[in-house]
Chains A and B, each alone.
Chain A
Amino acid sequence: MSISALPSNDGQELTIQIQGRFDFSAHQEFRDAYERVNLTPKRYVVDLKAATYLDSSALGMLLLLRDHAGGDHARISLVNCNPDVRKILSISNFEQLFQIG
């Protein structure tokens, strides 16, 4: 599992890429990805292309990111979800809180 954070050139958007299993063991690394950047992006993109698995702790971590990014005003999209990941997001009805693409 590895997580990387890539700011866009204009600093308006932060893309967090997740590889492998997205579960409790990713907790600290995921937080670091958005807390330890010296910019205040307007938008966040969580790229799940290389994520093989996502559990309810990962859902909790996404909620933490949402809280960090301004709660109801946060603009976060979850992109490149594979069918398994998408299924979990849809059972939890997270499309009500995140843009899922």
Chain B
Amino acid sequence: MPTRLSILIAEDNAADRMLLSTIVNRQGHRALTASNGLEAVMLFEQERPQLVLMDALMPVMDGFEAARRIKACAGESLVPIIFLTSLTESEALVRCLEAGDDFLAKPYNRVILEAKIRAMDRLRRLQDTVMRQRDLIAKHNEHLLTEQRVAKAVFDKVAHSGCLNAPNIRYLQSPFALFNGDLLLAAFKPSGGMHVLLGDFTGHGLPAAIGAMPLAEVFYGMTAKGFSMAEILREMNAKLKRILPVGVFCCATLLNLSFQRRVVEVWNGGLPDGYLYHTATGERTALVSRHLPLGVLESASFNDHYEVHPLALGDRLFLFSDGVLETCDRDGQLFGEERLQAVFEGQHPAERLFDEIQLALTAFRGEAQDDVSMIELSLIEEVGLTRPALAFSDSGLSSPLDWSASFEFRAQTLKRFNPLPFLLQLLLEVQGLRAQGGALYTVLAELYSNALEHGVLGLDSALKCNAEGFARYYQQRATRLAALEDGYVRFHLELVPQADGGRLRVRVEDSGCGFDVAGALDCTQLSAGLSGRGLRLVRQLTQHCEWSADGRGVSVEFCWSAQA
């Protein structure tokens, strides 16, 4: 059944007014009548009729002016105006259509008028529906944006607990990067180095953000606890595989940058080539994707092999999300690999490269980038970095102080398990040691890798004399570790309270055949090469350090005073 409408009839001829009212009433609508334009406008304002039949020519105010005012008053809702006219020349009829929505020529035909009213009513209701839907969409959209703002605020807390503001890092990321699927994380390791992750989730919006949260938590949590890159990768992959639906994954590059050892470890699963730029020579090494993205493979098939590259001071690492290569110009051409290479070839000073890449992108696209993530890391002297204090979750009041423990980690364990986070967690229960957490970790890590690599695995650090040997060294390490059948590394920890503090003694022994202690120490005094930094470091960081004569054991001491 058609809706009952109230219809305003503006007509100066009383007979016509009567006739129209009758037709309208008979059709079941309510008729309001006005005898000129001004009356019509006033009546419209009072009664808000849904449709208007408007005579074109009237005294006081003509129909065109009245129509203009009524339209203005009606605003967004459509009040159809049908002009009633005896004019016949096309110019006048066009004018009626411009000011109103339709016209009806005098003399009136009842059937046509009724049909026009029905047609205009359909139009009116259509406009109503469109407006209602528009408002609904706007409301939903606003709701969605609010949710995204909240999600982003939470995410920023999670993701930006890191060290992206460190002086050796520069990065570019769109303000709503989270919602285009890009993720950039950086954190100091307890040993002083830095982990950096650039990730790119399939898709964008909330699904990407939902995966990014646990990824960031694993990255920061495990980095802070001293887990190695391989362990973090395995955990991130396993977690994403568990929680993400099939078909959603995260292309990522993870870097482990060590300032002391001057190396970078690189794992790239699915991101475009990053680059290691050697500042001295201008050469660059591509950091190529060799793995499936995170979250694709079951844990058992996941491959955590990474590449190790030596670095010199001032060398730079660049990582890019695929948004960089896929930046389009106005003709839909992609920025592409070659243009990126051309920037590197452009003889710019190393410290300008990041800006030059950015400039090239802007010049290519002609406007600011909004779906591009890139990061530059440089190897600087570690003293240039201020590190945030380690955060602990308890008040530190319960602090065990008088105990000793020994651990022996044997071949099957050494193959797969990194004992350092485990030992560090135990030792950091001792409040006095927390201030030295970084040094403690570094020393334990150095002693452990010496014991494992030179002792148990019998690797010769002389291999690390150049970049090629360096790579061979890490190849051999992996092969020998995989084949390891026996051997051990022992840790003896002893904590003793002292008058104004305490003392930790750590003894590390291995099953290797020992080494020429005196020779090695002499050598480290002289060498500025790629090996030998470890021993020097251990001596700098501990209060007391002593190798056993056969080179199979070492003991170091950390002391602290209660006031520290």
Q: Are A61 and B291 in contact (CB under 8 A)?
A: no
Does residue B512 face the partner (Cβ distance < 8 Å to A)? no
Q: What is the chain B residue whose CB lies nearest that of A62?
A: B247
Count of B interface residues, CB-CB < 8 Å: 20
- A67 within 8 Å of B by Cβ? yes
A59 to B203, CA, bound (A): 11
Would you call A56 and B200 a contact (CB within 8 A)? Answer: yes
Which A residues lie within 8 Å of B301 (CB)?
72
A60 CB → nearest B CB, Å:
3
Binds B, one of A2-10, A11-19, A35-43, A88-96: A88-96
Known contacts A24-B203, A91-B270, A93-B270; decide if A64 and B246 are in contact (CB<8 Å).
Answer: yes
Complex-state Cα separation, A57 to B200, whole angstroms: 12
Instruction: Give Cα A57–Cα B251 distance, bound, in whole angstroms.
Output: 12
Are A96's CB and B270's CB within 8 A?
no
**B202 within 8 A of partner (CB):** yes
For the complex, give the distance between the alpha carbons of A91 and B247 in Å: 16
The answer to the question of B190 belonging to the interface, with a C-beta cut-off of 8 Å to chain A, is no
Whether B272 pairs with A91 at a CB distance below 8 angstroms is: yes
Q: Does A92 lie within 8 Å of B270, measured CB to CB?
A: yes
List the count of A-B residue pairs having beta carbons below 8 Å apart.
46
A60 with B248: CB separation less than 8 A: yes
Given A61-B247, A63-B247, A63-B249, answer yes or no on A93-B291 (Cβ-Cβ < 8 Å).
yes
Do the beta carbons of A92 and B292 come within 8 Å of each other?
yes
A-contacting residues, B232-270, CB 8 Å: 246-249, 251, 269-270
Contacts of A97 in B (CB 8 A): 292, 296
Chain B residues with CB under 8 Å of A56's CB are 200, 202-203, 251, 322
Which A residues are CB-close (under 8 A) to B248? 60
Report A49 CB to chain B, min CB distance, Å: 21
Q: Would A93 and B289 count as touching, CB distance under 8 A?
A: yes
- Contacts of B495 on A, CB cut-off 8 Å? none
- Assuming the contacts A92-B251, A94-B292, asked whether A57 and B203 have C-beta atoms less than 8 A apart, the reply is yes
Listed A/B pairs (19) with beta-carbon separation below 8 Å? A57-B202, A57-B203, A59-B202, A59-B249, A60-B246, A60-B247, A63-B246, A63-B247, A63-B249, A64-B246, A72-B301, A91-B271, A91-B272, A91-B289, A92-B251, A92-B289, A92-B292, A92-B293, A93-B270
Interface residues of B (CB under 8 A from A): 200, 202-203, 246-249, 251, 269-272, 289-293, 296, 301, 322
Residues of chain A having any CB pair with chain B under 8 Å:
24, 56-57, 59-61, 63-64, 67, 72, 91-94, 96-97
Going nearest first, the 9 A-B pairs with the smallest beta carbon separation are: A60-B247, A64-B247, A92-B270, A67-B246, A56-B202, A63-B247, A60-B202, A93-B292, A91-B289
